[in-house]
Structure 1
């Protein structure tokens, strides 16, 4: 059924990190069908994280509309565009019913993860069980339903940025190319994923004592900018806030790519560091770290549950900052270990930069 594949659509409508975590699926399909054009169906605002990925032929974008009429118009417009492409395979990695209905209306070969709802399963040509522990393994397991073997699967993530993204950073920070620096992004979409401000401040002071420059980054939201400002104010030697809230995703990727170390919590930049191969220390609390940890051999994960009993998943309080159980010394020890292992010799260009 899938011997000849010239056009593929991959659907993933979620957050930035979730979209980045689909890159092994893209790579696996490209390796199996090297001449196939691979399109993506995404939320409009998440396109930016894969904008420099040359494996992607075309992006089709769903906008998060507030009104029902605008939403319907957007879906119908996208459907009309997709219908013209006569896909040989549609890989659905999303769970939204409207997307399932959209895919069914295209009447092309499709696959999705099996669910306990018969009406969902009927929307697709095939359904397959979700297997694996980590989200990368789970995403890749969908391809086994269309004949991919374990050896066919490309398990490395990838993230590319443009040369102009790095040049922009240097235009703002002329000393950047000669610096040994650490990137810290302490913020996340949900506050329960964050660590204590004062502990981050102590870690920053320690990094300064080691002679490393520290760039504190965050998203553009006012709450995130206020958080990094609070952290900076508690430091004996202030970190560099020049880029905080002022970079695109690919400019942030360029910054992380050239860093000797990344430190953060469970958020998209953590997955970016993993995809870029940058050494990192990441902090986890209530989220399932086995499923969402950095997909990297170059990362040290610190879980709050190792310092205090973590409640069962069905009793977790999403308003509570479980990361507060993590002592700052544990993070400092992890920093020493990662910097020692990496030898501070990480190259300045690992092939992630594109023209």
Structure 2
């Protein structure tokens, strides 16, 4: 017998810890739940870094779990929520760690992925599963949770909070110069292979500087790999054409930098989905992951897609025969992307009318006072 879903939930739990791009893709589902049940309380259990990105999201109570804290952190979170019972818990993380964490949460009904999408036996930990949705984009998979609950308005909205302090942080790095933002490195996980070449990025920087007078802003974390990539791109680029801000901004500051950019260019990583959420044009570089599943949702037409070529070259299979979302874990896959492919997408975006982002509240007030 199926567990009944609440017709009018009073308290909705969302369990999604990571990653940066995924939590950006989940926000439209939260907004849809808020539109359907504006009086409902929404508690989102989220990772530490992901919370620093989304802190201040209107109408959402966050409970933070630091993944580095392990079982001790889980126990602390369970104690924090000991008196909380969710009418429905949306278990939106397909990982053993998240499923174990869910065991200590009180919920009348737990909703998870259908068996075809559930990884690590996630369906063992839920009462109700989504309806099958083969070949769904990640953002659509999240919206499936709202669909199952009967949400009617699934229009996309983000309204990510970017505080004035983040804009001041961004201005300190860039000044008033227009720029294209390049985040060259994806998360440096084992066998990730999502990064394009420093030579390719330097070619873009030269083109943007010489043809459009646009500087290139390099962003990313402070890892050795990212700093070395930034230094290599700068060394290969025309003098004064780049600004190296790798490791120099907070996540809120990165949001402000992306919001102020003419275009964002990055491989499959958090910044392409941040740009998508902020309405900033984005050129995603995809060869090792399937853009039909994980591209920046509103800018899919501008993705440089060499995933089918990589599947053929390195997996030696036709695209239709591999599993949905299978990755091409080969260090040469991203070399299938040519600079001319990326420049073509950039030119198409730069040819469109540009609307500058609105000034943050404190800057607007200063302009009026002047």
**TM-fit CA distance, 1:300:** 0.8
TM-score normalised to the size of structure 2?
0.84
SS of alignment partner, residue 243 of structure 2: coil
Instruction: Name the stretch that deviates more: 268-277 or 163-172.
Output: 163-172
Equivalent pairs counted in the alignment come to 343
Quick check: 2:204–2:339 contact (8 Å CA) kept in 1? yes
**TM-fit CA distance, 1:165:** 0.4
Of the three residues 58, 63, 66, the one matched with 1:54 is 58
RMSD: 2.8
Of the three residues 131, 142, 165, the one matched with 1:139 is 142
1:1-355 alignment, distance < 5 Å = 1-65=5-69, 71-105=70-104, 106-115=106-115, 120-131=122-133, 133-148=136-151, 151-173=152-174, 175-176=175-176, 179-190=177-188, 192-209=193-210, 210-297=212-299, 300-305=302-307, 309-310=312-313, 311=315, 312=317, 313=322, 318-341=329-352, 343=353, 345-349=354-358
Deviations 1:264-312 (A, max 9, x none): 1111001111111111212101101100011114861111246674434
SS of alignment partner, residue 83 of structure 1: coil
Q: Distance in 2 between matches of 1:303 and 1:165?
A: 32
**TM-fit CA distance, 1:352:** 11
SS of alignment partner, residue 266 of structure 2: strand
Q: Which 5+ residue runs of structure 2 have no aligned equivalent? A: 365-370
**TM-fit CA distance, 1:40:** 1.0
Quick check: 1:159–1:352 contact (8 Å CA) kept in 2? no
SS of alignment partner, residue 193 of structure 1: coil
Quick check: 2:51–2:64 contact (8 Å CA) kept in 1? no
**TM-fit CA distance, 1:127:** 1.9
Instruction: Name the stretch that deviates more: 329-338 or 270-279.
Output: 329-338
Q: 1:29 to 1:305 in 2, by over 3 A?
A: closer
